[in-house]
Each structure stands twice: as structure tokens, then as C-alpha cells.
């Protein structure tokens, strides 16, 4: 009996422990579920509410306003303007997307090819991605779509911003242009911003627009909207505005830039004007030019073909992409290198019989009969070639190339423009690497007058001239400020040249423009306060054979255009207190004194006077022509509008 009672007691104890354990486990489970429910219902309420409402709430990106571009005085160069378009989201259009498109085309006239393109794009993109069906539609068309909204599920009339370039062709080679994002653009980006998937979203394609894309684009905002079962927007639930792109101010003066473009006209040419004190690029013009608005709106095949087939290459920015033999404008480099090395003095002379013989080969001077005895000033003034051949033989290519780089030739300047070229100050090592051949003495002779392997852009030649004028390492600056923040000056430190040597070079350049025997005397400035110092250049693009020299060298005007010499001119002014350095290159223009110097003189005066100079600044024989030119350019060239910092 006692044993049974003991067993009953033990069983009771075991049962109580198990019950307690199970009860505790149940309580823990209930508590865990309670905490989980509290976390889901309170802590994560917003997230699950959004998931529950995903069929009626959409979150859309709001494209930011693109940063605008202004000239140095605040005149607008690249701005935003309203643009009306019609977009469609495939997922919101229902099962029959083509039916909705047919209804839309009955309300708004849309070409069949545009409808086909939109349908193709919708099939290739995510279902929630808006696709542009019609762009740049009228306000009336936009209104009709809005009125018929119930019958057009997934279709949205939108007011966006599009790029506009009010000065047209004047700035296209500097600022470039924008265009819709292409598949090619997306393929180049590893993790593209969702903004780039928006319909017809515009990004920079070339020029400053492309180089400063990240600054100009801005950050997207978000829009939270409620839609009905048909996909129509019922109401706006919330909006977070994006961050607009930063505004950019250029160093370029729109008035001077426009004058340069107009003065170059339809020549295949380039002009650069640099402030010698700050390095600011006051003008950087390439001709012929084209209207960038054609690309923003979608250029036609015919218009694009006309640009690509033009032998004057309007799509190329010749100021930074074009590389030319600098010809006689390079002679200051050779002369300064020889002066700095102590090879010559100001009064030492070299006899020029019209040629020099090196390694059984004749190297000719442009003047067949020769210049006789010439010193530094007369050789530069009358552009004697033999004088510089002789200097190069004594100097050697390495020292010559080192001086060229010191003055900016063969240096790639970091400007926000497309395909800025490095140029070339050749050395023995360069030729070996490029051609697998040894340098020969004839290469040095050719390089001394800016021919052979030497190549420079108009920008580099303008920088070279600014450095000769100041003795400082002037650096070209294109952007004055970004979002109001001033960018570093291009003034540059002293280059360490002997000042007496620089004075000799400058005095010889002054004689080029102001001595009666100077090669640029015909393009001199008469105003004593603004007299310029310069140098003409004529660079050959073809070889002249000995046979041709015997029978008489063919005149440029008798040659096909693309076989004529390039015409160059560089200068700084005023001579006593340099303010601007200028370079003009006219492709296949012939002689530098005839084709390039008059243009450079006119541009220099325009920069110095801040507008049309008085006719008394020109030689009397030119005044009638200059007056007619000024009147014509006033009629033809677009005027920059008043500064406007507001956003479109």
C-alpha cells in the first residue's frame, strides 16, 4: 500500500514538472508572437502598409533642373526651357497596349514610326519604366490628352525641361550639347543612375556638357502618387524635390566669342584669345560652326550628313583638337632656347644665301635669293629660315623640345572640352617609339622652323605667346566659377627665363608688326596705346621637290584647297603692358601675313576696346573695308541677352 502511494507521489511530481515546462514554453511562444506582432504592427507599420497598397501607390522619379551655363558677364549660354511630352507606362496600360496607342494617335497626331518605336522600347524596358511616345508636342495636344485621360490608361501628359542654346553656333565647340540617353551611353556606365532610364532624359554628349555632366545633372526627387485600378493618377500623396544641377560660369566673353565666330566666317579656321594676367580664355572659336539645338531636338539624317561630309570639318573643335605644324610662329621657341643656352647674342649674325646644306641635302629659306646677314631681330622680323636652321644645329633637338614644352607645346591642358590634343614637341626617344627609326640631323633642322614632326594646337600657340609676353607659366582657364565658387587662377609662377632674353624676343616680335619690312606690317595697329607684337607663320602641308623649285614653286592659289599651306599668326597686345595673347590659324589659307594676321589684328582690337574700335586704329587703306565689315557683322552676329540667373 505504501509503495503505491510513493509511486503516485512520484508520478504527480513528474507531471507537475512537465506541465510547468510546457506551460513555460507556451508562455514564451505567446510572448514571442506578441512581440513579433507588435514589431510588425507598430515598428514596421509604414513598410507593410506600403506593401499592402502597392497596387494603388506609385513612387516616381522627378528629374532635376539641369545646371545652366553663363558667360563671364552672366549672359546665358545654355539654359532650360519647358518641353511638353506624352509618356506611357506599360504595366499601367492594361493588357492591350496597342489599343491604348491607337486611341492616343486618334487624339494626337503621332507618326506611325514613332508609335512603333515607342512600342518597341516599352517591350525592351521594365514594365514600370515610362517611355516617351511623343515629344515636343503643343500645349493644345497636351490638353486633349489630359481631357481624355479616362480612356488612356498608363498615358501621362508631362511638362519637362529641355536644353536650349540661345547663342546657337557661337559656343557649340566649347559647351557642346545634350541629347537623349542612348543604349550606347548606358553600356559605358557600370551602375547607371535611375535618372538615366527616364524617358528622353538628356545628358551631355560632347564638350563642357559632357565633361561636367555630374555637376550639371543634379539629383533626382521623388513623387508618391495614388492610382486607380486603370492606372490613372488620382492624387499626389507626397513629393520630395530633387537637387538641381550646379550652374557654371565660363571665362569666355560672349560678345567677343560671337565676333570671333563671325570674323572667321566660313573659313576652316580657329581663334583663341587669352588674358595674359589670369589665363582666362576670353574667346575660343572654331569655324565653320553649327547650331547645337539641332542635336537636342534630334538632328535629321540630311542635316547630319551635311556636317560630316563638309571638308571644312564643322564638327571638329579645331582650337583644341586641331594639330598643325606651327611654322614660323615656332621660331621664338628656337631663338629663346639658343639665348638661354648662350649660343647667340642679340647682334650676332648668320649669313643667309637662300639655303643651307646639311648631310648632302639642301634646306631652303622661303626667300630664294636669301636675306644676307641677319641677326635675331631681323631674322624674326623678316622670317629668315636659314638663321634658325643654323641655331638648331648648334642647339640640338633635346634642348629645343624642352623649351617647346616649357612654353606649352606638347602639353595637354586640362580643360573641360572634348578630345583636347597633346600636340608634339618631338625628341629622339619619341621618334624611335613612334616609327622605330633613329633621329637624323635633318629632323632637327625641320623642327627649328616648326615643320617636320612638330605639331601644336591653336590653344597651345596662344599659351606659348602669353608665356613669352609675361615670362610666367600662364595656364588656360575656361571655367570661372562652379555654383558661385571661383576656380583657381591660371596666372602661373615665373618660368625663370632671363628677362633680357625675353625682351629681345618681344622686341623682335614688335618689329614683325611695326617695322616697314616686318611680315605683318600691313596688319599693324596704329593706336600707340595698343600696338601689338606678333609673328606670322606659314606651314607646308606638302613636300616641294627640287624639280618644282627649278621650274618655279606652284602658287598656293593654283593648288587644290586641301594642298595649300596653313596660315598662322600669334600676337600679344599692348606691347608695353600685355593684356591679351591671340592665335589665329586658317587651314589651307596660304600665307600667314595675308590670311591670318588681319583676322588676328581685328580680334585683338575688339578685345582691347571691348567692342568695335575706332577706325583710326587701322591703317588708312583698310578703313573703308573695316567700316563695311563692322556694319555687316553687327547685322549678322547674334547678340547675347541680358544676364539672367533664374531657372527656366
Report whether 590 contacts 567 (CB < 8 A).
yes
The DSSP letter of residue 353 is S
Which DSSP helix (H) or strand (E) runs through 394? helix 386-395
The DSSP letter of residue 462 is H
Measure the CA–CA gap between 354 and 374, rounded to whole angstroms.
12
Report whether 513 contacts 523 (CB < 8 A).
yes
- Name the burial class of residue 594, with classes exposed (0-12), middle (13-18) and buried (19+) by CB atoms within 10 angstroms of its CB: middle
- CA-based nearest residue to 225, from 213, 239, 215: 239
- CA-based nearest residue to 351, from 384, 328, 395: 384
- What lies within 8 Å, CB to CB, of 627 at 6+ separation is 615
Report whether 356 contacts 442 (CB < 8 A).
no
Measure the CA–CA gap between 409 and 467, rounded to whole angstroms.
11
CB atoms within 10 A of CB 361: 13
Residue 38 preceded by cis peptide, ω within 30: no
Residue 434, SS3?
helix
16 is catalytic: no
- Going through 403-484 in order, the beta strands assigned E by DSSP cover 479-482
Residue 167, SS3?
coil
Q: Which of 328, 383, 448, 539 is catalytic?
A: 328
Measure the CA–CA gap between 496 and 367, rounded to whole angstroms.
35
H helical segments located in 202-343: 207-211, 213-217, 254-264, 293-296, 301-309, 318-321, 331-340
- CA-based nearest residue to 225, from 237, 211, 209, 217: 237
Measure the CA–CA gap between 202 and 360, rounded to whole angstroms.
61
Would you please indicate which residues are annotated as catalytic (active-site) residues? 328
Amino acid at each position: 500500500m505504501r509503495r503505491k502511494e510513493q509511486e503516485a507521489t512520484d508520478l504527480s511530481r513528474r507531471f507537475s514538472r512537465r506541465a510547468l515546462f510546457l506551460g513555460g514554453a507556451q508562455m514564451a511562444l505567446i510572448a514571442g508572437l506578441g512581440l513579433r506582432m507588435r514589431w510588425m504592427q507598430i515598428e514596421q507599420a509604414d513598410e507593410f502598409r506600403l506593401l499592402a497598397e502597392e497596387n494603388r501607390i506609385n513612387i516616381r522619379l522627378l528629374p532635376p533642373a539641369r545646371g545652366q551655363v553663363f558667360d563671364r558677364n552672366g549672359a546665358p549660354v545654355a539654359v532650360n526651357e519647358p518641353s511638353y511630352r506624352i509618356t506611357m507606362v506599360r504595366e499601367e496600360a492594361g493588357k492591350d497596349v496597342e489599343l491604348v496607342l491607337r486611341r492616343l494617335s486618334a487624339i494626337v497626331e503621332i507618326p506611325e514610326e514613332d508609335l512603333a518605336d515607342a512600342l518597341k522600347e516599352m517591350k525592351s524596358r521594365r514594365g514600370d519604366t515610362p517611355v516617351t511616345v511623343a515629344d515636343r508636342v503643343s500645349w493644345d495636344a497636351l490638353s486633349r490628352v489630359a481631357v481624355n485621360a479616362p480612356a488612356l490608361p498608363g498615358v501621362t501628359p508631362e511638362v519637362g525641361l529641355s536644353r536650349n542654346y540661345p547663342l546657337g553656333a557661337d559656343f557649340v565647340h566649347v559647351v557642346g550639347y545634350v541629347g537623349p540617353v542612348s543604349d550606347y551611353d548606358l553600356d559605358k556606365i557600370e551602375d547607371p543612375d535611375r535618372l538615366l532610364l527616364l524617358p528622353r532624359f538628356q545628358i551631355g554628349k560632347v564638350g563642357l556638357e559632357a565633361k561636367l555632366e555630374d555637376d550639371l545633372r543634379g539629383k533626382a526627387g521623388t513623387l508618391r502618387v495614388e492610382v486607380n485600378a486603370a492606372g490613372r493618377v488620382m492624387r499626389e500623396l507626397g513629393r520630395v524635390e530633387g537637387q538641381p544641377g550646379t550652374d557654371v560660369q565660363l571665362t569666355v566673353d560672349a560678345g567677343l566669342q560671337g565676333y570671333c565666330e563671325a570674323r572667321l566666317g566660313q573659313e576652316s579656321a580657329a581663334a583663341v584669345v587669352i588674358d595674359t594676367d589670369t589665363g582666362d580664355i576670353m574667346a575660343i572659336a572654331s569655324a565653320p560652326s553649327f547650331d547645337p539645338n539641332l542635336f537636342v531636338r534630334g538632328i535629321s539624317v540630311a542635316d547630319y550628313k551635311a556636317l560630316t561630309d563638309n571638308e571644312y570639318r564643322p564638327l571638329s573643335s579645331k582650337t583644341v583638337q586641331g594639330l598643325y605644324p606651327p611654322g614660323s610662329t615656332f621660331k621664338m621657341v628656337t631663338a629663346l632656347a639658343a639665348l638661354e643656352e648662350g649660343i647667340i647674342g642679340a647682334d650676332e649674325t648668320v649669313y643667309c644665301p637662300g639655303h643651307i646644306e646639311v648631310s648632302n641635302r639642301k634646306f631652303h629659306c622661303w626667300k630664294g635669293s636669301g636675306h644676307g646677314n641677319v641677326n635675331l631681330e631681323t631674322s624674326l622680323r623678316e622670317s629668315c629660315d636659314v638663321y634658325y636652321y643654323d641655331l638648331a644645329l648648334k642647339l640640338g633637338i633635346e634642348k629645343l623640345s624642352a623649351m617647346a614644352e616649357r612654353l606649352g607645346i606638347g602639353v595637354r591642358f586640362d580643360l573641360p572640352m572634348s578630345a583636347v590634343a597633346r600636340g608634339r614637341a618631338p625628341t629622339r626617344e619619341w621618334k624611335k617609339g613612334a616609327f622605330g627609326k633613329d633621329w637624323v640631323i635633318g629632323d632637327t633642322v625641320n623642327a627649328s622652323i616648326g615643320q617636320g614632326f612638330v605639331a601644336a594646337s591653336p590653344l597651345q600657340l596662344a599659351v606659348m605667346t602669353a608665356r613669352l609676353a609675361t615670362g610666367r607659366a600662364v595656364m588656360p582657364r575656361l571655367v570661372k566659377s562652379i555654383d558661385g565658387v571661383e576656380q583657381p587662377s591660371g596666372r602661373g609662377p615665373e618660368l625663370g627665363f632671363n628677362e633680357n632674353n625675353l625682351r629681345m624676343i618681344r622686341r623682335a616680335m614688335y618689329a614683325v608688326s611695326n617695322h616697314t619690312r616686318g611680315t605683318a606690317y600691313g596688319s599693324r595697329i596704329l593706336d600707340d596705346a595698343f600696338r601689338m607684337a606678333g609673328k606670322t607663320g606659314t606651314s607646308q602641308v606638302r613636300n616641294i621637290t627640287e624639280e618644282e623649285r627649278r621650274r618655279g614653286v606652284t602658287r598656293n592659289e593654283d593648288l587644290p584647297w586641301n594642298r595649300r599651306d596653313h596660315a598662322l599668326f600669334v600676337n600679344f597686345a599692348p606691347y608695353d603692358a600685355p593684356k591679351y595673347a591671340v592665335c589665329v590659324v586658317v587651314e589651307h589659307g596660304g600665307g600667314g601675313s595675308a590670311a591670318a594676321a588681319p583676322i588676328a589684328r581685328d580680334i585683338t582690337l575688339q578685345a582691347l576696346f571691348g567692342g568695335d574700335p575706332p577706325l583710326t586704329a587701322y591703317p588708312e587703306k583698310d578703313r573703308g573695308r573695316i567700316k563695311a565689315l563692322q556694319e555687316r557683322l553687327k547685322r549678322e552676329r547674334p547678340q547675347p541677352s541680358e544676364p539672367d540667373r533664374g531657372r527656366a
